[in-house]
Amino acid sequence: MSAHPPTAPGAPAFAIVYPGQPGDLTPVTPTQLPHRGGSVNPSVDALRARFGAAVIRHDVVWGETTVYVARDQVATICAWLQSDPSQRYEYLSDVTAVEYRDPMRPIEVVWHLRSIAFRRFLRLKVELPKSGAPLEVPSVWGVWKGADWLERECFDMFGIRFTGHPDLRRILLWEQYAEGYPLRKDFPLRGRFSRAEQLRNALAADPEARYSMEELSITDAFAQLPEDMRKRLGGGTRTGE
C-alpha cells in the first residue's frame, strides 16, 4: 500500500487516512480469545512511557484493552493518542459512562478510540467517586469535534460534566427536566414525580428557548438543497423503489 501522497496546492488541510500500513497482513477476525489476559494493545506501553503515573492500570477482556487513566490528564492523553504518528487514533466512536450497583464502586467515564491506520481499538476509562469530588472530567471536544453530542448525551443521562465543552446542555431531555439523570442507578423506574406532574412539566417546558430559528427551520434547509435533489425529494421517490 502506498504512503500518504503529498499535499497539493488547494487540497484539504486534513490528512487522508489509509487503513493499515505497508506490509500489513490481511486483517482476520480473531477467534478463541481468552476472557482475561491475551495480547495487550501496544499503545499501553507507549502511554506508560509518555505519561508515567497518569496511567493507573490496564486490563484485557475478550481481546480488548482498557486503560484507566488519571482524570486531570485524560484530555492531554487523548490529544497525544490522536496526533502522535505512532498512535493515530483518528476516530472517537463513543463517550459514555458506567455505574455499578455496588454503591462503593466509582462511576466510570468511558472513551472508545479507534486507530484506522494501525487497526487498533483502545478503551480509556476514568473513575469518578460518587462522593467528594464533583462528577466532572475534561472535555475532549478540542481533540475530536465528534465528542460534542456524545458528551452532551453522557451529561444528560448520567449528570457528568465535561469541563471545557463549548455548549454543554441536555440533548435528549429538555433543559428544565427536574427529575435528575435517568441512567443513574438511584433513578426510580417511574421517575421521581407522578405521571400527572411529569405531563404538566413537559407541557410547561419551552423546547425552543435555547434554539435559534435557523436551528429549528427545516424549510430553509430544504430550499438550500440543489434543484435536482429538491425535485427527487418532492416527487416522493423512495430508496429502493
Contact 75, 139 (CB under 8 A): yes
Contact 152, 170 (CB under 8 A): yes
Residue 200 three-state SS: helix
For residue 219, what is its C-alpha cell? 424549510
Read off the amino acid at residue 56: I
For residue 152, what is its C-alpha cell? 452532551
Res 191: pLDDT: 75
The residues facing 92 across adjacent strands are 113
For cell 419551552, the residue is 206
Res 210: pLDDT: 60
Q: What's the CA gap between 88 and 100, in Å, rounded?
A: 32
CATH number, domain 43-172 = 3.30.460.80
Q: What strand order describes the sheet that includes 64-69?
A: 55-61, 64-69, 120-128, 107-115, 91-98
Q: Using the 8-state DSSP alphabet, how is residue 39 labeled?
A: P
Res 12: pLDDT: 57
Question: Helix crossing, 74-83 with 43-51: angle to 10°?
Answer: 120
Q: Is the pTM of this model over 0.85?
A: no
Run of H or E residues at 138: strand 136-138
Res 77: pLDDT: 98
Per-residue pLDDT for the chain (241 aa), expressed as one digit of tens each? 444 455 556 655 666 666 666 666 677 788 888 999 889 999 999 999 999 999 999 999 999 999 999 999 999 999 999 999 999 999 999 999 999 999 899 999 999 999 999 999 999 999 999 887 789 999 999 999 999 999 999 999 999 999 999 999 999 988 888 889 999 998 887 777 787 877 777 777 766 566 666 655 666 667 777 787 777 777 755 544 4
Question: Any idea where the domains of the chain sit in the sequence?
Answer: 43-172
